[in-house]
């Protein structure tokens, strides 16, 4: 494991009781061990046909920040629900997803054909989206995407990246109870500075930071719940992914009711605290940034030149 940041080459140090090393220069956090990309289903099949508030937010941000509506590529497409919601806005769409179950489900239920390798996608991309997928990628995979983008982008191309924010108020307050804390699956935790630096290495320049009030409010509510729940992100995992943590229906019902009651108590203070993210978007619980292509520049390989790890 190198002690250098894969984004800016700054020195990294291990934080107490954390699986991440934190860069002193760009404040990027990279996982200490196990650099391999994980298979992950970020939704539940029971819920995949429903377009929720977060998906509508993603679609709105994508539409309003796309300079042209020819080819949309969604990296980390999961079940293809987001792609389905915006397919009528673009001449063509493509999704990249490595999880076989998601690829099959998207095809069988939405008629959306996903590919497992971005190099299989031809043409000049109008908009490339990473809705909470970039943090899962080893450095070599990010480099590969960057090489593809250099060959398949133009002056009107926009890249939209949404990731958990290692510089957020919520991460500072909640630490391992932070709603977007997932070291099992997240190789990286980006800051605005590290995400901007990564963009520059991929031949991109930051255009804007998009406020993410839904992510902020959800993150605050779930973070507060995590302080008292026996399972991290219990409510999210129950409602979004359909997980069951007990064979006893009575125990499950108790914890579900307990969480619903707590939400009723904390919703207002959580909403007020989450409003800080709108006032200080660089410290938002989630970073949603829009990038455009630099002119007359080339991609730079990330500093470690390989997977993060031994």
Pick the residue with more confidence: 116 or 47?
A: 116
User: Residue 66 above 80 pLDDT?
Assistant: yes
CB 223 within 8 A of CB 170: yes
pLDDT value at residue 244: 85
pLDDT value at residue 308: 34
pLDDT value at residue 239: 86
- Which residues, 6 or more positions from 21, have their beta carbon under 8 angstroms from its beta carbon? 1, 3, 12, 13, 14, 15, 29, 30, 31, 32
Query: What CA–CA distance (Å, rounded) separates 215 from 55?
Result: 11
If one counts every other C-beta atom within 10 angstroms of the C-beta of residue 165, the result is 30
pLDDT value at residue 213: 93
pTM of the predicted model as reported, rounded to 2 decimal places:
0.91
pLDDT value at residue 32: 80
CB 81 within 8 A of CB 48: yes
pLDDT value at residue 243: 84
Query: What CA–CA distance (Å, rounded) separates 37 from 78?
Result: 15
- Which residues, 6 or more positions from 9, have their beta carbon under 8 angstroms from its beta carbon? 303
DSSP letter assigned to residue 17: T
DSSP letter assigned to residue 206: E
pLDDT in tens, 184-195: 999 999 999 999
> φ and ψ at 280, to 5 degrees?
-130, 75
Which homologous superfamily does the CATH classification assign to the domain defined by 12-214+286-293? Vaccinia Virus protein VP39 (3.40.50.150)
pLDDT value at residue 304: 47
pLDDT value at residue 42: 58
Query: What CA–CA distance (Å, rounded) separates 142 from 265?
Result: 42
- Residue range 86-93: mean pLDDT, rounded: 96
Tell how strand 20-23 and strand 12-14 pair up: antiparallel
Q: Pick from 3, 6, 1, 4: which is nearest to 202 by CA?
A: 6
- Residue range 292-310: mean pLDDT, rounded: 61
Query: What CA–CA distance (Å, rounded) separates 147 from 299?
Result: 7
pLDDT in tens, 212-257: 999 999 999 999 999 999 999 999 999 887 888 886 889 999 999 9
Q: Pick from 132, 138, 122: which is nearest to 35 by CA?
A: 138
pLDDT value at residue 309: 34
Q: Pick from 200, 131, 196: which is nearest to 163 by CA?
A: 131
Q: Which helix (H) or strand (E) holds 127?
A: strand 127-131
pLDDT in tens, 6-57: 999 999 999 778 999 999 999 999 998 655 655 555 565 545 556 788 889 9
pLDDT, averaged across the chain? 90
């Amino acid at each position: 494991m190198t002690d250098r940041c894969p984004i800016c080459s700054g020195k990294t140090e291990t934080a107490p009781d954390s699986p991440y090393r934190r860069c002193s220069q760009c404040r990027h956090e990279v996982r200490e061990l196990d650099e391999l990309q994980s298979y992950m289903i970020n939704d539940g099949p029971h819920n995949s046909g429903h377009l929720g508030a977060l998906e509508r937010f993603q679609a709105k941000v994508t539409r309003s920040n796309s300079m042209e509506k020819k080819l949309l590529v969604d990296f980390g497409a999961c079940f293809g629900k987001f792609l389905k919601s915006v397919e009528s806005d673009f001449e063509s769409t493509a999704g990249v997803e490595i999880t076989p179950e998601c690829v099959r489900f998207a095809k069988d239920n939405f008629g959306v054909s996903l590919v497992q390798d971005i190099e299989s996608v031809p043409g000049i991309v109008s908009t490339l989206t990473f809705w909470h997928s970039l943090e899962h990628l080893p450095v070599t995979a990010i480099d590969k995407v960057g090489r593809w983008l250099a060959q398949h982008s133009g002056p009107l191309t926009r890249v939209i990246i949404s990731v958990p924010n290692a510089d957020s108020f919520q991460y500072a307050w909640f630490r391992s109870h932070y709603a977007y804390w997932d070291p099992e699956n997240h190789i990286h935790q980006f800051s605005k500075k590290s995400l901007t630096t990564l963009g520059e290495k991929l031949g991109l320049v930051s255009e804007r930071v998009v406020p993410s009030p839904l992510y902020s409010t959800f993150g605050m509510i779930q973070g507060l719940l995590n302080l008292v729940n026996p399972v991290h992100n219990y409510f999210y995992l129950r409602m979004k992914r359909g997980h069951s943590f007990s064979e006893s229906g009575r125990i499950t019902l108790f914890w579900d009711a307990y969480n619903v009651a707590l939400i009723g108590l904390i919703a207002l203070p959580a909403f007020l605290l989450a409003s800080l993210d709108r006032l200080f978007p660089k410290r938002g619980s989630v970073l949603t940034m829009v990038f455009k292509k630099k002119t007359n520049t080339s991609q730079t390989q990330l500093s470690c030149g390989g997977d993060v790890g031994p």
